Amino acid sequence: MEETRISVEEGRTALGIEFGSTRIKAVLVDERNRPIASGSHEWENRFIGGLWTYTLEDVVNGLRDSYAKLKADVRQKYGVVLEKIGAIGISAMMHGYMAFNQAGELLVPFRTWRNNNAQPAAEELSALFSYNIPARWSVAHLYQAILNEEPHVKEISFLTTLAGYVHLSLTGKNCLGVGEASGMFPVDPATRNYDASLMKKFNKLLREKDMPFTAEEIFPKVLVAGEDAGVLTPEGADLIDPAGDLKCGIPFCPPEGDAGTGMVATNSIKRRTGNVSAGTSVFAMIVLERELKKYYSEIDLVTTPVGDLVGMVHCNNCTSDLNGWVNLFGDFAKILGVDMPKWKLYDELYFAAERGDKDCGGLLSYNYVSGENITKVDEGRPLFVRTSESKFNLANVMRAHLYSAFGALKVGCDIMLKEEGVKLDSITGHGGLFKTERVGQSFLAAALGVPVTVMKTAGEGGAWGMAILANYLITKAEGETLESYLDGKVFKDQEGVTLAPDPDDVEGFEAFTARYVKGLPIVREAVKSLQ
């Protein structure tokens, strides 16, 4: 405690702040990247004018509240008023659209990644670029506004993301980390910058639409991890800490997206490695050795914080339907007079799944509480299907639901692993699905056919990953790569459990997946028939 107190007093720390969709979290770490204090702020998006948004007031209030709570935590633990910090990093949910005029005024309310109104623009740009442009990407939002002939577009002076906006407010620098930038516009891994050939095509579109700017003029500057991204200005210090205790001049690392901080927090930035985050939604990030042979609508191409290419499979559904079934069994337990703690209920049902047939006994589950882009299902229709010959018992039912949680993810990942021949040596799993020991981890290993590691630190989340990036800026040795920094100074002594795929489980998951894909027309018909 005394050693940590001195580190805090002397500013030998780093701060990461991440703006998630429901929580803003601030994490302070010491020189060895150990979390020593934290603070958080709950917030919710608003549905205004048919679009999901957060107001700038929401952003500032959340920033101040999360920092104030971290500051109070520091004072309570160490008896120190937080005045000095070694470095700061800002992260946020990726993508979205924040357009500003020359006076720095927001032209239209912030449009978050959650909006799907830019689908027509995304499809047109994907065809033009021969590169998958998801509707949530910033360039899709911009081009959709142009297609809609929205009056504000000709007033745009600069465009950024939520992480970029907060960083700009604190430092005066309009820049993005390369991972975050890769969710605005395609990035060329060779240059670690926006893809010049695609930028040329987009600028031609802008000229044809009579826009008074080029993409280069309005997009933020791209930086890689470890590069200087400005310092805390007096105005920025007042913004984050109105009490006036925090000193200006603190260095900032490049702002990053939540995908990048997740990769850092799970030590998954090396090629042939990846991570899977499994909660309400599920996504896999696989660091590629080469570009894919063609583009796929199921795979987003982004980058690590150092600019290496990543194939991302993002699925809308993971645990929501599974949680519903667990709650159903919990209700039955209460009828029997058994008031079982939620964690034990999950454990017992998940462990039961291990006793099921490897292929779930012919049972089939679709966990689509909402539509699923990977499997081309437009709306949510959770379904449980079996034939009269299926082996219908509790173990198989739970195994089918757990397999289904990874069903769409496997469909997307199989494109990379089987059709493209992408090599993958290991995956790190994090998120709520892995809280029960072993079960979800072993099933994911079976789905992807690679070892899966779950680390204790994965629960620290993206704010911790952002703090690591801030620390890397000021504590790295000369010429030290982020990869070697993570291996040697962050994860060297971290505890984790690795499970290799069981061959019988792999075979069983393949049989389930074949049935899962063949049965997709059932779900699509349910969308039409059940309104």
Determine which helix (DSSP H) or strand (DSSP E) holds 10, and give its type and residue range: helix 2-10
Q: Render pLDDT for 340-353 as a digit per residue (tens, 0 to 9).
A: 999 999 999 999 99
What pLDDT, on the 0 to 100 scale, is given for residue 430?
86
Whether residue 407 is predicted with pLDDT greater than 60 in this model: the reply is yes
Q: How far is CA 6 from CA 74, 82, 104, 310, in A?
A: 12, 12, 40, 40
CB atoms within 10 A of CB 105: 11
Find, among 220, 232, 230, the residue nearest to 162 by Cα.
Answer: 220
Q: Render pLDDT for 433-489 as a digit per residue (tens, 0 to 9).
A: 998 999 999 999 999 999 999 987 655 678 999 999 999 999 999 999 999 999 999
State the burial class of residue 341 (Cβ atoms within 10 Å of its Cβ: 0-12, 13-18, 19+).
exposed
Q: Render pLDDT for 273-290 as a digit per residue (tens, 0 to 9).
A: 999 988 888 999 999 999
Strands 273-278 and 282-287 turn out to be: antiparallel
The full set of domains in the chain, from first to last, is 264-316+410-502 (3.30.420.40), 320-372+385-405+504-513 (no CATH)
Are 368 and 382 a contacting pair, CB within 8 Å?
A: yes
Find, among 71, 425, 461, 82, the residue nearest to 246 by Cα.
Answer: 82
What pLDDT, on the 0 to 100 scale, is given for residue 488?
93
CA distance 33 to 14: 8
What pLDDT, on the 0 to 100 scale, is given for residue 516?
98
Mean pLDDT of 180-184: 97
Dihedrals phi, psi of 296, to nearest 5 degrees: -130, 140
Band (21; pLDDT cuts 50, 70, 90): confident
Q: What is the per-residue burial (b if ≥16 Cβ within 10 Å, else e) of 493-527?
A: eeeeeebebeeebbebbbebbebbeeebeebeebe
CA distance 260 to 525: 37
CB atoms within 10 A of CB 333: 15
Q: How far is CA 208 from CA 142, 143, 159, 211, 315, in A?
A: 15, 12, 20, 8, 35
State the burial class of residue 390 (Cβ atoms within 10 Å of its Cβ: 0-12, 13-18, 19+).
middle
Dihedrals phi, psi of 148, to nearest 5 degrees: -80, -5
What pLDDT, on the 0 to 100 scale, is given for residue 495?
80
CA dihedral (195, 198, 201, 202) in degrees, to 10, reads -80
What pLDDT, on the 0 to 100 scale, is given for residue 311?
96
Q: Render pLDDT for 132-156 as a digit per residue (tens, 0 to 9).
A: 999 999 999 999 999 999 999 999 9
Q: Render pLDDT for 201-232 as a digit per residue (tens, 0 to 9).
A: 999 999 999 999 999 999 999 999 999 999 99
Q: Does 367 or 113 have the greater pLDDT score?
A: 367
What pLDDT, on the 0 to 100 scale, is given for residue 458?
52
What pLDDT, on the 0 to 100 scale, is given for residue 460?
62
Whether residue 503 is predicted with pLDDT greater than 80 in this model: the reply is yes
Mean pLDDT of 238-251: 97
CA distance 493 to 482: 17
Which tokens hold the place of 338? 């058994």
Are 401 and 512 a contacting pair, CB within 8 Å?
A: no
CA distance 325 to 431: 19
Which tokens hold the place of 379? 């709306």
CA distance 20 to 14: 19
Share of the chain above pLDDT 90, in %: 90
Which 3-state string (H, E, C) describes 138-184? HHHHHHHHHHCCCHHHHHCCEEECHHHHHHHHHHCCCEEEHHHHCCC
Dihedrals phi, psi of 350, to nearest 5 degrees: -65, -45
Whether residue 507 is predicted with pLDDT greater than 90 in this model: the reply is yes
**What is the pTM (predicted TM-score) of this model?**
0.90
Which 8-state DSSP code applies to residue 502?
P
Which 3-state string (H, E, C) describes 171-238? HCCCEEEHHHHCCCCCEECCCCEECHHHHHHHHHHHHHCCCCCCHHHHCCEEECCCCCCCECCHHHHH
What pLDDT, on the 0 to 100 scale, is given for residue 494?
79
Mean pLDDT of 103-126: 93
CB atoms within 10 A of CB 103: 7
Which tokens hold the place of 441? 């981890």
Share of the chain above pLDDT 70, in %: 99
Whether residue 504 is predicted with pLDDT greater than 90 in this model: the reply is yes
Q: Which residue has the tokens 């289904």?
A: 404
